[in-house]
Amino acid sequence: MKNLIVLILLFVFAGASTVKAQGIIDKANNLLNKADNASSTANRAGGTSDKVLGIFKKKKKVDAAATAPANALTGYKTVITIKGITMENLRKLNANVKACAGVDSTKMKFSGTGSIILVAHAHGSTEDLLTALEKTSKAIFTDKNIEGMEDGKIDIAR
């Protein structure tokens, strides 16, 4: 008889805790639905939640060489990427590029993983620019350091 009473009480308590757990789950589900509704309302109102949450997102670290595609170089004709160059040598190379005939302007970006020089030149091809640069920059790089050259792009590794 005692076993029967204990068993009945066990089922009653187990049933009550299941009901409580279901109630908690229902409340959490209601809160999530309200949050979804508020989010969709904000998105319809112009993406306000995305704008607010965008402040708190972690920014990605961007490699300088990876930011060199032609679409980001409005007004530039040639991109020179240099791996393993010091800031001092990058400045010297940039000055040598500026001294080349036909070069209108340059913009350099330094990074330990890969630096770039963006070159706007009025006339001449990328090959002409490289030929002129090799003559003035022998102390910085030679033919063996050139990893690649194509129209609009020169790759150098030191």
> What whole-number distance in Å separates Cα of residue 121 and Cα of residue 123?
6
Q: Which position has the token pair 């999530």?
A: 32
Mean pLDDT for all residues in the chain: 76
Is pLDDT larger for residue 48 or for residue 36? 36
pTM: 0.53
Residue 144 has pLDDT above 60, yes or no: yes
* The predicted structure's pLDDT at residue 40: 63
Per residue in 78-102, pLDDT (tens digit) is 999 999 999 999 999 999 999 988 8
- Looking only at the bridges linking them, the beta strands covering 115-121 and 146-150 are unpaired
Which residues, at least 6 apart from 64, have a Cβ–Cβ distance to it below 8 Å?
A: 109, 110, 111, 113, 114, 115, 116
E strands, 13-151, are 78-83, 103-109, 115-121, 146-150
Looking at residue 122, its pLDDT comes to 79
